[in-house]
C-alpha cells in the first residue's frame, strides 16, 4: 500500500521547481539602521498554457543600498537598456516587483527536468519502486510453500483432513466415552468395587495358560483384578453414514501419514523462506535507514548548460520531499514489525525439534494409549496447528489410534450384523451340523456368541478377529475354522476353547499367522493346517511344540514340505491319522514316519513320490494308505505290505503305474483297492484272489478285457472300470451278486447281457458313453435300481418297455449306497 500510494503521488504530482542563483556585483553591506541581515528572496513562477512566465522578487528586511545586479542576458535583450543614473535605478525598483532573470517558459521547463534527474537523490525518485519490489519478494517468500507443487498439495490435503476430523461425530463420541470411562474408573476406585463383570476373566483364574500364551492385549485398555473393565454405554449414537465417513477418514489419515512422514521438504522449505525473509528485513533496514536523511526539500543544481541558459547554478525545491519522508518512516516501521515476527519465527523453529511430535499428553488424557508419535513433515504440520489451537491435534490424534479404529469397526460391525441377520446365515453342513461362515469382515460381531446352538464357526479373512469371553455361552461349539484369521482370545475364552474345542482348521500364508494358543488346546482331537511351511531356501519352518496336544488323533497338513516336521513326533504316540497334501514339492525325508506306530490312516498326496516309501512298512497298525497324485511307476515293494496285517484299503490312484505285481495276493485283508488314473493295460488274475475285496476301482486306464476270474470276488460291492477300452462283459461278472455299484461308462461295450438281472442289490449302473443299441428288459428285475441310479443316454432309456420304465421310475424309501 505504501508503494502504490507513493508511486501514485509521484506519477501525478512529483516535480522540482528551480530558479537561477544571481551573481551580485554591488556592495551588499547593510546601511546603518538596518538589521545587518542578508536579503531573502522568494521566487515564484506562475505558468499557464500559452502565457509567458513573469518573475518577481520580494525583499524582506531593510532595503538594499546597492544597485541590483545586471542580468547576463542584458546584451541579448533589446527591451532593457543600461543606465548609470541613480534616478533610473530608483525608478526601476519602484516599477519592478522582483529581480528579472530574462528566462522564458521553455527554459524553466528544461532546467526543471534537468535538475530532477541531476540534483534529486536516486532514492527519492525510485523509493516507491523499491518498496514494491521488496514487498513482492517478501510476499513470494511468505507464500512459496503454499504454491510449490510438492508442498501445497500436502498442505491443502492436511487442512482438508484436519477439518473433517475436527467435525467428525466419531471424534466427539470417542473423546466423550473416554471421559465417561475415566469417571467410571474413579468411581470404582472410590467405592472399592471388587466384582468382575460377566465374561471377563483375570490372569489369576485356575487353569490359565503361562505368561507366554498369546492373549488379547488391547492398547489403552488394561484387564486386571484391581482395575476391572467397565462396559460404558455409548454416549452418542453413530449412524451408518457417520460410521462410513469415519472409516474413510481413518484410511485417509493412514495414507496421508505414510505419504508425508517419510520426508521433511515442507519443514526445510519453511525454514528456508523464513531465513530469506529475515535476511531481507535486515538488508532493507540497513540501507533504508541511511537514506532517510537524503530526502530534502531544497537542492542545489549545477547542470552545466550555461551555453543554453546563461546560468551555472540553480536552487531547486522538491514538492514531494516531506510526503516521501513520512512514507519512508512508515515503511521502516512496518518492516520492523515484520522483521520482529520473522525473528520470533526463527526462534520458534529452532527452540524445539519441530520434526518430532509427541501425543503423550493426549495419551494421558484419553484411553487411546496407542496413538503413535510422528516425525518429519507430519510432525511439523501438527506443530503449526498447535499454534492455532491444540484441540485440533487432539481430535486428529483419535484417527491415528488403532484402538479407536477398532472400536469404530466394532460399533459399525455390530450395527450391521444383528442376531437376526446372523441367524439367517446359519446353514446345515454335510455332517448335519449347524454352521456359520463369516467372510471378510472387520471383526467378529458380538451377536455371533449369542448363537448358543452353533456347532461349527468359520472365520475367513478377518484380520482383527477377537474371541471374547462371551464364547463360553456356545456350549455346542466343537469345530472352529480360522482361514487367514490370526484370532486373539481372552483368557476366559481360551479356557473354554481348551476344554471344549474338538476340531480346529487353520489356513495361513505364513506359519507366524498360526495363533500361539492353538498349540495349547489340550483337548483338541483334529487339527488341520493349510499353508506355507517351507522357506525359499528349502529350510523347514518349524512348528511350535505340539506336546500339549495330548488328545490329538487326526493331523492334516496341506503345505509344501520336503520332510515331515519333527514336531509331529510329539503327538506320535496317540496320533491315528496323518494326512500330508503337498503342492507338488518332493517329499524326501520320511524317517519320522517310523515313530508313528499307532497311525491307522496315512495319506501322502502330491508329494512327487516315485516309489512306495519303506518307512511305511513299519507302521504295524496301518489300516488305510493313500498315495494319490504322485509319480509312482512301479509297486514291486507291495510284497512288504504282507507285514501290515490290518491294511484294508490301498489307494494308488492318479499315478503312473504300468502293471500290478502278482505279489499283491499277499495282502490278504485288503478290502478296497483304488488304481484309477494310471497306465494299466490289463488286470492280473492275482487281483481276483483277494477274497475280502469289496471295492475295486480301475477307471481311466487302458484295460481292454475284464478277466473271467472276476467272478471269484463274491464280496465285491463296487466295481469301477469307467474310461477304458472294454468291449465285452464276461458273464462271470454277474456272479458278483453283492454288487451295488457298477460303473461301465466310456468304454466300447456293444451289449449288456440279460444276466444283469442277477444283481439284485444293484443301485447304481453307469452305461453312458458306450456303443449300445438297446438295454436289456431284465433291468426291471434289479429290485433296487431306479432311474436316478441309471446313467445312460435318454434314447436308450426311452426304448425300454413301458413296464420296465414304470418299475425304474418308482420311488423307494429303501436306503441304498452309491459307493464308497
Per-residue pLDDT tens over the stretch 496-513? 999 999 999 999 888 888
Q: How far is CA 8 from the centre of its chain?
A: 57
Separation of alpha carbons 719 and 736, rounded Å: 10
* Residue 699: per-residue pLDDT: 96
**What integer is the mean pLDDT of 409-424?**
87
**β strands within 177-217, DSSP E:** none
Q: How confident is the model at residue 649 (pLDDT cuts 50, 70, 90)?
A: very high
Element (H, E) at 562: none
Can you give the length of the chain in residues?
A: 820
* Residue 436: per-residue pLDDT: 94
Residue 440, class by beta-carbon neighbours within 10 Å (0-12 exposed, 13-18 middle, 19+ buried)? exposed
Pick the range with the lowest mean pLDDT from 108-122, 495-509, 602-616: 108-122
Element (H, E) at 554: strand 554-559
If you write DSSP's letter for every residue of 30-87 in order, what string do you get? PPTTS--PPP--EEEEE--TT---EEEEE--SSPPSSPPPPPGGGGG-SS------HH
**42 pLDDT exceeds 70?**
no
Cβ atoms of 442 and 422 closer than 8 Å: no
Pick the range with the lowest mean pLDDT from 217-231, 761-775, 804-818: 217-231
Q: How far is CA 14 from the centre of its chain?
A: 65
Looking at the DSSP assignment, which residues form a beta bridge with residue 581? 558, 605
* Residue 45: per-residue pLDDT: 34
Percentage of the chain with pLDDT > 90?
Answer: 32
**What integer is the mean pLDDT of 92-99?**
54
Report how many helices (DSSP H) and strands (DSSP E) the chain contains, helices first. Answer: 18, 26
**What integer is the mean pLDDT of 240-261?**
81
Least Cα distance to 571 among 587, 554, 558 occurs for 554
**What integer is the mean pLDDT of 396-423?**
83
Q: How confident is the model at residue 238 (pLDDT cuts 50, 70, 90)?
A: low
User: CA separation (Å) from 711 to 693, 695, 750?
Assistant: 12, 14, 21
The residue to which cell 475295486 is assigned: 696
Per-residue pLDDT tens over the stretch 655-685? 999 999 999 999 989 999 999 999 999 999 9
Using alpha carbons only, what angle is made at residue 765 by residues 761 and 769, rounded to the nearest 5 degrees?
165
* Residue 291: per-residue pLDDT: 78
Separation of alpha carbons 726 and 771, rounded Å: 11
Q: 325 by DSSP, 3-state: which?
A: helix
Q: How confident is the model at residue 698 (pLDDT cuts 50, 70, 90)?
A: very high
Q: 312 by DSSP, 3-state: which?
A: coil
Per-residue pLDDT tens over the stretch 254-270? 888 888 888 888 888 88
Q: How far is CA 194 from the centre of its chain?
A: 42
Q: How confident is the model at residue 39 (pLDDT cuts 50, 70, 90)?
A: very low
* Residue 222: per-residue pLDDT: 37
Pick the range with the lowest mean pLDDT from 30-34, 747-751, 766-770: 30-34
Pick the range with the lowest mean pLDDT from 3-12, 567-576, 582-591: 3-12
Element (H, E) at 378: helix 376-388
Query: Which cell numbers hold the place of 163?
Result: 477439518
**What integer is the mean pLDDT of 506-528?**
89
First to last CA, the chain: 97
Pick the range with the lowest mean pLDDT from 3-7, 85-89, 286-290, 646-650: 85-89
Per-residue pLDDT tens over the stretch 200-224? 333 334 444 544 444 554 433 333 3
Cβ atoms of 733 and 754 closer than 8 Å: no
Query: Which cell numbers hold the place of 373?
Result: 508419535
Count Cβ neighbours within 10 Å for each residue of 86-119 and write b for 16 or more, e otherwise.
eeeeeeeeeeeeebbbbbeeebbebbbebbbeeb
Per-residue pLDDT tens over the stretch 443-459? 889 999 999 999 999 99
Q: How confident is the model at residue 713 (pLDDT cuts 50, 70, 90)?
A: very high
* Residue 772: per-residue pLDDT: 92
Separation of alpha carbons 670 and 652, rounded Å: 13
**817 pLDDT exceeds 60?**
no
Per-residue pLDDT tens over the stretch 805-816? 999 888 654 444
Among the residues of 681-750, which ranges form H helices? none
Query: Which cell numbers hold the place of 457?
Result: 464357526
Looking at the DSSP assignment, which residues form a beta bridge with residue 375? 356
**What integer is the mean pLDDT of 124-145?**
79
User: CA separation (Å) from 628 to 45, 439, 604?
Assistant: 122, 31, 7
**What integer is the mean pLDDT of 609-619?**
89
**What integer is the mean pLDDT of 701-714?**
93
Answering whether pTM is above 0.75, one says no
The whole-chain average pLDDT of the chain stands at 78
- Residue 810 DSSP one-character state: -
Residue 733, class by beta-carbon neighbours within 10 Å (0-12 exposed, 13-18 middle, 19+ buried)? buried
Separation of alpha carbons 523 and 478, rounded Å: 11
- Residue 532 DSSP one-character state: -
Amino acid at each position: 500500500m505504501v508503494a502504490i500510494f507513493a508511486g501514485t503521488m509521484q506519477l501525478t504530482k512529483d516535480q522540482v521547481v528551480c530558479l537561477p542563483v544571481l551573481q551580485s556585483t554591488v556592495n551588499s553591506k547593510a546601511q546603518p539602521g538596518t538589521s545587518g541581515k542578508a536579503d531573502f528572496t522568494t521566487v515564484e513562477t506562475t505558468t499557464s498554457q500559452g502565457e509567458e512566465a513573469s518573475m518577481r522578487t520580494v525583499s524582506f528586511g531593510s532595503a538594499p543600498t546597492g544597485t541590483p545586479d545586471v542580468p547576463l542576458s542584458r546584451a541579448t535583450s533589446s527591451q532593457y537598456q543600461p543606465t548609470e543614473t541613480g534616478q533610473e535605478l530608483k525608478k526601476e525598483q519602484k516599477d519592478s516587483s522582483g529581480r528579472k532573470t530574462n528566462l522564458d517558459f521553455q527554459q524553466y521547463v528544461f532546467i526543471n527536468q534537468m535538475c530532477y534527474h541531476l540534483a534529486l537523490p536516486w532514492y527519492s525518485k525510485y523509493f516507491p519502486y523499491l518498496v514494491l519490489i521488496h514487498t513482492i519478494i517478501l510476499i513470494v517468500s511468505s507464500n512459496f510453500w503454499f504454491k510449490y507443487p510438492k508442498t501445497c498439495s500436502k498442505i491443502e490435503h492436511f487442512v482438508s483432513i484436519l477439518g473433517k476430523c475436527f467435525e467428525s461425530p466419531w471424534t466427539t463420541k470417542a473423546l466423550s466415552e473416554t471421559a465417561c470411562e475415566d469417571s467410571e474408573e474413579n468411581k470404582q476406585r472410590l467405592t472399592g468395587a471388587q466384582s468382575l463383570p460377566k465374561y471377563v476373566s483375570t490372569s489369576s483364574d485356575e487353569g490359565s495358560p503361562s505368561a507366554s500364551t498369546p492373549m488379547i492385549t488391547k492398547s489403552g485398555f488394561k484387564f486386571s483384578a484391581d482395575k476391572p473393565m467397565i462396559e460404558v454405554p455409548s454416549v452418542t449414537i453413530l449412524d451408518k453414514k457417520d460410521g462410513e465417513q469415519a472409516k474413510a477418514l481413518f484410511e485417509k489419515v493412514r495414507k496421508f501419514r505414510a505419504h508425508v512422514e517419510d520426508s521433511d521438504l515442507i519443514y526445510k522449505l519453511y525454514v528456508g523462506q523464513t531465513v530469506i525473509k529475515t535476511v531481507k528485513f535486515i538488508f532493507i533496514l540497513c540501507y533504508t535507514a541511511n537514506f532517510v536523511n537524503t530526502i530534502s526539500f531544497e537542492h542545489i543544481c549545477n547542470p552545466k548548460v550555461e551555453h543554453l541558459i546563461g546560468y551555472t547554478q540553480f536552487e531547486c525545491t522538491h514538492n514531494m520531499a516531506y510526503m516521501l519522508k513520512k512514507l519512508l518512516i512508515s515503511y521502516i516501521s512496518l518492516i520492523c514489525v515484520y522483521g520482529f515476527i520473522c525473528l520470533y519465527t526463527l526462534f520458534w523453529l529452532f527452540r524445539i525439534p519441530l520434526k518430532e511430535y509427541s501425543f503423550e499428553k493426549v495419551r494421558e488424557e484419553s484411553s487411546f494409549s496407542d496413538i503413535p508419535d510422528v516425525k518429519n513433515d507430519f510432525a511439523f504440520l501438527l506443530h503449526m496447528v498447535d499454534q492455532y489451537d491444540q484441540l485440533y491435534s487432539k481430535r486428529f490424534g483419535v484417527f491415528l489410534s488403532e484402538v479407536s479404529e477398532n472400536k469404530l469397526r466394532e460399533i459399525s460391525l455390530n450395527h450391521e450384523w444383528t442376531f437376526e441377520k446372523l441367524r439367517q446365515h446359519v446353514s446345515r453342513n454335510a455332517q448335519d451340523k449347524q454352521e456359520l461362515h463369516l467372510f471378510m469382515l472387520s471383526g467378529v460381531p458380538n451377536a455371533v456368541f449369542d448363537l448358543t446352538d452353533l456347532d461349527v464357526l468359520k472365520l475367513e479373512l478377518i484380520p482383527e478377529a477377537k474371541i471374547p469371553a462371551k464364547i463360553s455361552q456356545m456350549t455346542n461349539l466343537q469345530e472352529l475354522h480360522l482361514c487367514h484369521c490370526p484370532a486373539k482370545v481372552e483368557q476366559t475364552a481360551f479356557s473354554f476353547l481348551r476344554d471344549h474345542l474338538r476340531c480346529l482348521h487353520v489356513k495361513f500364508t505364513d506359519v507366524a499367522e498360526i495363533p500361539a494358543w492353538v498349540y495349547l488346546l489340550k483337548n483338541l482331537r483334529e487339527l488341520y493346517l493349510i499353508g506355507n511351511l517351507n522357506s525359499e531356501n528349502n529350510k523347514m519352518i518349524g512348528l511350535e511344540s505340539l506336546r500339549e496336544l495330548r488328545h490329538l488323533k487326526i493331523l492334516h497338513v496341506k503345505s509344501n514340505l520336503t520332510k515331515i516336521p519333527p514336531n509331529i513326533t510329539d503327538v506320535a504316540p496317540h496320533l491315528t491319522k496323518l494326512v500330508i497334501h503337498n503342492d507338488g514339492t518332493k517329499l524326501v525325508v520320511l524317517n519320522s514316519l517310523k515313530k508313528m506306530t499307532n497311525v491307522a490312516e496315512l495319506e501322502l498326496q502330491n508329494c512327487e513320490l516315485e516309489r512306495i516309501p519303506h518307512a511305511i512298512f513299519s507302521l504295524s497298525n496301518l489300516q488305510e494308505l493313500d498315495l494319490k497324485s504322485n509319480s509312482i511307476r512301479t509297486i514291486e515293494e507291495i510284497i512288504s505290505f504282507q507285514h501290515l496285517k490290518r491294511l484294508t484299503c490301498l489307494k494308488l490312484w492318479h499315478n503312473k503305474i504300468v502293471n500290478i505285481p502278482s505279489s499283491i495276493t499277499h495282502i490278504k485283508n485288503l478290502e478296497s483297492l483304488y488304481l484309477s488314473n494310471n497306465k494299466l493295460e490289463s488286470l492280473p488274475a492275482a487281483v481276483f484272489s483277494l477274497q475280502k475285496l469289496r471295492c475295486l476301482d480301475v477307471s481311466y486306464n487302458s484295460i481292454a478285457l475284464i478277466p473271467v476270474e472276476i467272478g471269484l470276488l463274491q464280496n465285491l460291492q463296487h466295481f469301477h472300470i469307467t474310461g477304458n477300452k472294454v468291449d465285452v462283459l464276461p458273464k462271470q461278472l454277474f456272479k458278483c451278486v453283492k454288487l451295488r455299484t457298477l460303473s461301465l461308462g466310456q468304454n466300447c461295450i456293444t451289449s449288456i447281457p440279460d444276466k444283469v438281472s442277477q444283481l439284485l442289490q444293484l443301485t447304481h449302473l453307469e452305461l453312458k458313453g458306450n456303443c449300445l443299441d438297446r438295454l436289456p428288459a431284465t433291468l426291471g428285475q434289479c429290485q433296487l435300481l431306479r432311474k436316478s441310479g441309471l446313467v445312460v443316454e435318454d434314447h436308450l432309456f426311452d426304448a425300454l418297455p413301458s413296464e420296465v420304465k414304470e418299475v425304474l421310475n418308482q420311488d423307494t424309501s429303501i436306503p441304498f449306497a452309491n459307493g464308497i
